[in-house]
Amino acid sequence: MVNVVGARPNFMKIAPIIRAMEARCDEISQSLVHTGQHYDEMMSESFFRDLDIPAPEINLNTGSGSHAEQTAAVMLSFEPVLRQMRPDWVFVTGDVNSTLASALVAGKMKINVAHVEAGLRSFDWTMPEELNRVLTDRISELLFTPSPEADENLLREGIEPHRIVRVGNVMIDTLYHQLESAGRSEILETLALEPRSFAVVTLHRPASVDEPATLQNLFSALAEIGRELPVVFPAHPRTQARMREFGIQPVKEVRVIDPLGYLDFLKLWSNSRLVLTDSGGLQEETTTLAIPCLTLRDNTERPITIIQGTNHLVGLERERIVTIARKVLRGEFENKGSRPELWDGHAAERIVDALIERTGNVQPQLLNLKAVQ
């Protein structure tokens, strides 16, 4: 078994799977490969420490580049690794370039691929992540889904039902596992913040940060919100690079800081009054802890966080962002905060059970494993 990680979101998703596999080490042998898609201290190494992930056996050190360059680099580096290791399965998570690249190599080598967080769709083909999701799902033998609409998406696309297993959300496994450790973080004291008295922002997607007018417009909206409560923005390196390139200076109402490690960031946003983000994972995590979230995008691959959770899809227009933020701050929206089914901290255990059942070793131990019939 080879688990592949490459970028920050992968680390949170693979950590509980590694733990669940370690608990069944008499039945599963695993190795960890890091593609190196994220490679700086705050985007990679610190996460291994915070999430208790063992050091990867292999680091491909592919680094940055265009989508094509990054995908090709991972493929070229990963193929000889698989040729040497010859695992029965390759596990990939999420929708980053490393996910698709690793799945492509494994698929061409006739090695089984399991995709964790399968079936999510934004239906926006301008998003590189949408291409990665759809193609990875087509390649994968086992598709582990987090929610009912993901099952429906896969069935509509012609995926055979026996390949789909609804297990819940592994991101939430990590969230629950790390809450106690995050509680010991001193990030609020460091930033001189009081719980529930500030907003947190993250931005990194091309649609948000690659156009000067859009990024300037978002800073204008954040400045307006910042007049009502402090706004803290741990800025992704890519976003910081775009700010320098476009000559966008941070406004005084928005406190731009460097990226945080997982535990510090969890402590920060989980104590906030409001989160504004273009991240997929934060939509899920804020729903689980009932923190109001404004998603700064025109679409989301996680509609359950809107239907059932605390997420509001607000787009990229300044006026709408500010209007909805003010309504949330005034308490004019019902805070639903209903946790989706199977988002209970045991998704990784269900994944390992399903894998062992599929390979014929033992029967699953957890009775709430849900396969699509």
**For residue 359, what pLDDT is reported?**
81
**For residue 69, what pLDDT is reported?**
93
Assess whether 204 carries a catalytic annotation: yes
**For residue 47, what pLDDT is reported?**
72
Are the CB atoms for 285 and 345 separated by under 8 Å?
Answer: no
**For residue 370, what pLDDT is reported?**
44
**For residue 324, what pLDDT is reported?**
97
Q: Which residues of 169-195 are buried (b: 16+ CB within 10 A; e: fewer)?
A: bbbbbbbebbeeebeebebbeeeebee
Q: What is the mean pLDDT of residues 225-240?
A: 95
Q: Report the C-alpha gap between 337 and 269 in whole angstroms.
A: 16
Higher pLDDT, 248 or 7: 248
Do the domains at 2-169+342-371 and 187-329 have one common CATH topology? yes
Task: Provide the residue ranges of all domains of the chain, joining segments of one domain with +.
Answer: 2-169+342-371, 187-329
| Domain 187-329 part of CATH 3.40.50.2000 | yes
**For residue 38, what pLDDT is reported?**
57
**For residue 181, what pLDDT is reported?**
96
**For residue 334, what pLDDT is reported?**
67
Res 212 pLDDT > 70:
yes
Q: Report the C-alpha gap between 32 and 143 in whole angstroms.
A: 20
**For residue 50, what pLDDT is reported?**
85
Q: Report the C-alpha gap between 307 and 110 in whole angstroms.
A: 39
Of residues 68, 50, 71, 48, the one with CA closest to residue 60 = 71
The CATH number that domain 2-169+342-371 falls under is 3.40.50.2000
Res 102 pLDDT > 70:
yes
Q: What is the mean pLDDT of residues 107-123?
A: 97
Higher pLDDT, 268 or 358: 268
**For residue 36, what pLDDT is reported?**
87
pLDDT band of residue 363 (cuts 50, 70, 90) is: very low
Q: What is the mean pLDDT of residues 144-165?
A: 97
Res 293 pLDDT > 80:
yes
**For residue 369, what pLDDT is reported?**
41
From 35-39, 106-110, 203-207, the region with the lowest mean pLDDT: 35-39
Q: What is the mean pLDDT of residues 234-260?
A: 93
Q: Which of 204, 236, 312, 346 is catalytic?
A: 204
The percent of residues above 90 in pLDDT, for the chain, comes to: 83
Are the CB atoms for 39 and 74 separated by under 8 Å?
Answer: no
**For residue 40, what pLDDT is reported?**
53
Q: What is the mean pLDDT of the chain?
A: 92
pLDDT band of residue 362 (cuts 50, 70, 90) is: very low
The percent of residues above 70 in pLDDT, for the chain, comes to: 93
Q: Report the C-alpha gap between 85 and 79 in whole angstroms.
A: 10
Residue range 25-48, pLDDT digits in tens: 999 999 999 998 655 545 556 777
Q: What is the mean pLDDT of residues 246-265?
A: 93
